[in-house]
Amino acid sequence: MDFNENFILGCSAIGAGLAVIAGIGPGVGQGIAAGHAAAAVGRNPGAAGEIRTMMLLGQAVAETTGLYGLLVAILLLFVKPLLP
């Protein structure tokens, strides 16, 4: 391996690490959403089904950014198209 290959592999590893950090945002957002949903059910137990449905839908949408970050990290680590 020459300098260019090592440099590309190193940059790919750093980029993968940064991409995985993208999972922090959805985790925090989902925790906040679950907390607010629990508080809403505590105030109005009769609407628990509707609150749960909306919370799960919102969490599924929020989770996509974390999954995209994981996909980018996996691609950077295991697919190396820039190497000669």
Q: How would DSSP label each residue in 1-46?
A: --HHHHHHHHHHHHHHHHHHGGGHHHHHHHHHHHHHHHHHHHH-GG
Query: Could you report the per-residue pLDDT of 56-66, keeping only the tens digit for each?
Result: 998 888 889 88
Query: Could you report the per-residue pLDDT of 24-82, keeping only the tens digit for each?
Result: 888 898 899 899 999 999 999 999 999 999 999 988 888 898 899 999 999 988 887 76
**Quick one: pLDDT at residue 14?**
93
**Quick one: pLDDT at residue 39?**
94
**Quick one: pLDDT at residue 25?**
87
Indicate the domain borders of the chain.
Answer: 31-77
H or E segment to which residue 57 belongs = helix 48-78
Q: Which residues contact 70 (CB under 8 A, 6 or more apart)?
A: 19, 20, 23
